[in-house]
């Protein structure tokens, strides 16, 4: 749990590690960049706990690199989840022309608790004589989840697009440098073994 909240070596080291992993992934730069777009986009959705699965499915559909998509969901982490949630929620209400109900006695946390309580109660109602109650779930869906989803899709598309266009030239340049280093090492190896034949053709 501690490693998830604050990785060993700090978040800056974790970011450098993730960048290195992305650059070293097999695949074309475009497929990896599409995977990055999908991963960042998914991080803005309210489907917490299912981001890896959603990113993998979307990457398959978009012919993006699945591993890149999973790694890019790192954009959603303990340092970014709160601002992502707040901005997405406000954006969603703005697009829908609604407002978060701050005048009721239930806060954001309270509405989340009510929805969770109703879900647990309704599961018990399946095997007991209790009556199912969906008021808390419906209130949470209309006031929190649906606006968050709408705002998250819009913001995720924008931020994911930026991530795509930023990562594409970086990955392309890294792969070219890597191919150049490999070619140089092979030529040096051939020279040492006497199998290198220089090309004298003009």
Q: Token pair for residue 56?
A: 């993998």
Closest CA to 114 of 129, 104, 103: 104
Which pLDDT does position 87 carry in this prediction?
92
What is the per-residue pLDDT for 59? 94
Cβ-contact 178, 187 below 8 angstroms: no
Domain boundaries, the chain: 2-188
Closest CA to 39 of 63, 73, 76, 9: 73
Mean pLDDT by 10 residues, the chain (202 residues): 48 58 76 93 92 94 92 83 89 86 60 75 80 80 89 95 92 79 73 61 48
- Residue 37 near residue 64 (C-beta atoms within 8 A): yes
pTM of the entire structure?
A: 0.73
Q: At what angle do helices 29-43 and 51-61 cross, to 10 degrees?
A: 140
pLDDT value, residue 54: 95
Q: What is the C-alpha radius of gyration for the chain, rounded to an integer number of angstroms? A: 24
The Cα 115–Cα 4 span in angstroms is: 26
- Per residue in 18-70, pLDDT (tens digit) is 666 666 677 888 999 999 999 999 999 999 889 999 999 999 999 999 999 99
* C-alpha separations of 47 from 25, 41, 77, 130 in Å: 26, 12, 13, 29
The per-residue pLDDT of the chain, averaged, comes to 79
pLDDT of residue 151: 95
């Amino acid at each position: 749990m501690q490693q998830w909240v604050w990785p060993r070596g700090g978040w800056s080291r974790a970011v450098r590690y993730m960048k290195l992993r992305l650059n070293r992934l097999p695949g074309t730069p475009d497929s990896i960049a599409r995977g990055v777009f999908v991963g960042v986009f998914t991080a803005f959705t309210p489907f917490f706990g299912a981001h890896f699965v959603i990113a993998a499915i979307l990457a398959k559909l978009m012919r993006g690199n699945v591993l890149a998509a999973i790694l890019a969901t790192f954009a959603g982490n303990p340092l970014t989840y709160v601002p992502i949630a707040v901005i997405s929620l406000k954006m969603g209400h703005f697009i829908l022309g609604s407002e978060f109900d701050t005048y009721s006695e239930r806060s954001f946390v309270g509405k989340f608790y009510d929805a969770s309580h109703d879900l647990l109660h309704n599961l018990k109602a399946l095997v007991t004589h209790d009556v199912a109650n969906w008021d808390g779930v419906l209130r949470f869906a209309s006031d929190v989840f649906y606006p968050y989803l709408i705002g998250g899709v819009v913001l995720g598309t924008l931020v994911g697009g930026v991530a795509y266009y930023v990562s594409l030239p970086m990955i392309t340049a890294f792969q070219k440098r890597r191919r150049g280093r490999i070619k140089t090492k092979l030529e040096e190896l051939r020279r040492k073994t006497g199998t290198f034949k220089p090309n004298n053709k003009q």
